[in-house]
């Protein structure tokens, strides 16, 4: 009689689960290592971002990110350079490794009214390109 109760519980649990469960790795930019957790294939990208942020905070990782999943995008490094759309299902991508990045904040330039991404700092003079060009122009003398 005890076995039938356990079998009924198993059938109830398995009827609630929709789709296959997969183990995914989410690497947060600037963090030490990936977060690993299990999700359903039919889970949306927004749900995965929300779960990743909660697990990140629960583990006490640095840097502190916050809980607003609208401030982050999920990338698939293998599939391409575009961010995944929040309404896509995580299983439709076909991979299990993802990268979580903060969205670059856009600032409206007051001169021409165009929006500029402020996530990347700009250097007005010089920079690595100038250094690289300068180093190519150096002549090596052979004695």
Instruction: Tell me the pairing of strands 97-102 and 21-28.
Output: parallel
Calculated CA dihedral for residues 125, 130, 131, 132, nearest 10 degrees: 160
Name the residue ranges covered by the structural domains of the chain.
18-103
Using pLDDT thresholds of 50, 70 and 90, give the confidence band for residue 1. Answer: very low
Q: Which residues pair with 48 in a beta bridge?
A: none
Do the beta carbons of residue 63 and residue 102 sit within 8 Å? Answer: no
What digits encode the pLDDT tens for the residues 96-137? 999 999 987 776 555 555 655 554 445 445 666 666 666 666
Residues with Cβ < 8 Å from 38, sequence gap 6 or more?
Answer: 21, 22, 23, 24
Q: How many residues does the chain have?
A: 143
Does the domain at residues 18-103 carry the CATH identifier 3.10.20.90?
yes
State how far the Cα of 63 lies from the Cα of 86, in Å rounded to an integer.
23
Confidence of residue 18 (pLDDT cuts 50, 70, 90): low
- pLDDT by residue (tens digit) across 29-88? 888 899 999 999 999 999 999 999 999 999 998 888 888 999 999 999 887 788 999 999
| Residue 75: CB atoms within 10 Å | 17
Residue 21 binned pLDDT confidence (cut-offs 50, 70, 90): very high
* Residues 29, 100: Cα–Cα separation, whole Å: 6
């Amino acid at each position: 009689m005890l076995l039938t109760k356990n079998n009924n519980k198993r059938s109830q649990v398995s009827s609630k689960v929709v789709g296959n469960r997969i183990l995914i790795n989410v690497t947060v930019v600037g963090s030490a290592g990936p977060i690993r957790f299990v999700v359903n294939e039919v889970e949306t990208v927004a749900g995965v971002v929300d779960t990743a942020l909660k697990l990140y905070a629960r583990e006490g990782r640095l840097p502190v990110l916050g809980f607003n999943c609208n401030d982050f995008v999920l990338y698939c490094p293998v599939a391409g350079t575009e961010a995944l759309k929040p309404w896509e299902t995580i299983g439709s991508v076909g991979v299990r490794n993802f990268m979580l990045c903060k969205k670059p904040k856009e600032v409206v330039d007051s001169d021409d009214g165009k929006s500029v991404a402020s996530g990347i700092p700009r250097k007005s003079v010089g920079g690595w390109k100038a250094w690289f060009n300068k180093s190519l122009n150096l002549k090596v003398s052979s004695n």
